Every structure is written in structure tokens, then in C-alpha cells.
């Protein structure tokens, strides 16, 4: 059985949030729900989602602020903004903030599902490139292209490790989690440190930060 597509729903209206959650679950999606902007930002930065449905008028942190912060932190999850603000300037604001789509409330249920599915298909058809500060990784060819134009081909494990860190740039990964997600066939936790060393040797020590007593997270090129 194929893995379910993961959707983040950020909506503070409990009735609408429950309806959206039930609807998308019935359509075969795995759903994570956030009731305010702070929670939505945390989930968006630390989780891996195929698409997000983001209410514009969230408490704690405004929906467009959440969107901007996700994009500033390198999160490329396709995002559909829902809002009672539906004028052309409102839609332009949402798209300029980094959204892929914008749907005004009230909306048609079938249209919402169709738009969510379209975003997941569009994302799957895009060249699988993951950006990080100072460069980008093409996950098909396992090639890193730095901003200065230089290219480096990675091994399969080096590529998998860099991709995971770059897709969730705000998350600190323990060695055990990296071992589970990247090195499934390996039993020795030391293999994580070995491949961190390989990437640092190729791109500089600051690309991967050590968080003392916890593990590793994405840094930036020195």
C-alpha cells in the first residue's frame, strides 16, 4: 500500500477545522491539525507535509506571517490559503507571500479537494530540487550546485542525509532518528557521524551544526 499524502490544516474555526479534517481523511490523506498560527508554524518547520491548507486569519500568528516565515526558512511545501478576504488585492497578497493557491470563503468542498490534489500533483512533477543556504540539491542526480555554480555529486547516503536536513531546516535530529530515517540498514550510530563528516569535508564545517547533547541540524555554507 502506498504511503498516504500528508496534509497540514491550519484553521481556528473548530467546526470548519473538523469538517476539513474529516473530508480530507475520507479522501485518503493523513491530516495534522493546527488551531493557531504558532502551532502551524511549528508543524510547518519541523514536519514533512505534501501540502498545507492555511487559514489567513489565525490567532497568535497571522496566516500570511506563518507563510512568509516558512518560505524564509526554506520550507517548500505547497500551500493553499483559505480566507474570507477574497478580493483581487487580497489574493495577490497571498500569492506574493509565497502561496501556490488562494481560495476565498465560503468555498465549494469539491473545489477545495480538487485544488489540494492539484497541488500535490504539481509538486510531484517539479524537478526534485531542495534548497539550502548557499546552494541546492537535485535529488534525482544527487548533485549539489552551489550559488557560485560549482557542482558536486554525492553518494546515495550523503544525498539522503543532506535532503532530510534541508527539507526540515528548523529541526534538530538526534543520531537515532537520523539512523532510522537515512541509514535503515546500519546498526552502528557512528555511521551518522561518518557521513556528517563527509558532507562537512566537501562543503565546510558550518553546513551541518552540532547541537550539543542533542544531535544535528542544517546550518549554512561558511
- Read off the pLDDT of residues 40-50 as tens digits, 9 standing for 90 and up: 999 998 887 88
Q: Is CATH 3.40.50.2300 correct for 6-125?
A: yes
Task: Please give the span between the terminal C-alpha atoms of the chain, in angstroms, as a whole number.
Answer: 43
All CATH 3.40.50.2300 domain ranges of the chain, comma separated, are: 6-125
Cell of 88: 483581487
pLDDT band at 220 (very low <50, low <70, confident <90, very high): confident
Fold held by 129-218: Arc Repressor Mutant, subunit A (1.10.10)
pLDDT at 126 over 80: no
All CATH 1.10.10.10 domain ranges of the chain, comma separated, are: 129-218
The mean pLDDT of 155-172, rounded to a whole number, is 89
> Alpha carbon 112 to chain centroid distance?
21
Q: What is the pTM of this model?
A: 0.59
pLDDT band at 221 (very low <50, low <70, confident <90, very high): confident
pLDDT at 2 over 50: no
Whole-angstrom Cα distance, residue 155 to residue 169? 21
Residue 1: the pLDDT is 36
Whole-angstrom Cα distance, residue 78 to residue 7? 10
Cell of 191: 555511521
pLDDT at 100 over 80: yes
pLDDT at 185 over 70: no
Mean pLDDT is lowest, of 50-59, 165-174, 179-188, for: 179-188
Percent of the chain with pLDDT over 70: 94
Amino acid at each position: 500500500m502506498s504511503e498516504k499524502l500528508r496534509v497540514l490544516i491550519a484553521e481556528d474555526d473548530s467546526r470548519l477545522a473538523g469538517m476539513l479534517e474529516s473530508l480530507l481523511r475520507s479522501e485518503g490523506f493523513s491530516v495534522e491539525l493546527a488551531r493557531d498560527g504558532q502551532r502551524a508554524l511549528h508543524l510547518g518547520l519541523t514536519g514533512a507535509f505534501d501540502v498545507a491548507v492555511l487559514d489567513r486569519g489565525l490567532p497568535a500568528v497571522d496566516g500570511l506571517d506563518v507563510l512568509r516565515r516558512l518560505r524564509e526558512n526554506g520550507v517548500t511545501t505547497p500551500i493553499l490559503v483559505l480566507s474570507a478576504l477574497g478580493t483581487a488585492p487580497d489574493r495577490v497578497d497571498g500569492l506574493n507571500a509565497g502561496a501556490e493557491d488562494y481560495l476565498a470563503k465560503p468555498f465549494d468542498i469539491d473545489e477545495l479537494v480538487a485544488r489540494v490534489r492539484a497541488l500535490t500533483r504539481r509538486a510531484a512533477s517539479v524537478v526534485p530540487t531542495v534548497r539550502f543556504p548557499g546552494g541546492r540539491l537535485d535529488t534525482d542526480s544527487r548533485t549539489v550546485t552551489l550559488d557560485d555554480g560549482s557542482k558536486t555529486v554525492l553518494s546515495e547516503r550523503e544525498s539522503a542525509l543532506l535532503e532530510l536536513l534541508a527539507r526540515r531546516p528548523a529541526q534538530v535530529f538526534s543520531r537515532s532518528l537520523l539512523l532510522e530515517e537515512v541509514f535503515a540498514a546500519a546498526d552502528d550510530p557512528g555511521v551518522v557521524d561518518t557521513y556528517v563528516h563527509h558532507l562537512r569535508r566537501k562543503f565546510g564545517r558550518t553546513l551541518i551544526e552540532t547541537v550539543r547533547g542533542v544531535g544535528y541540524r542544517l546550518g549554512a555554507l561558511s
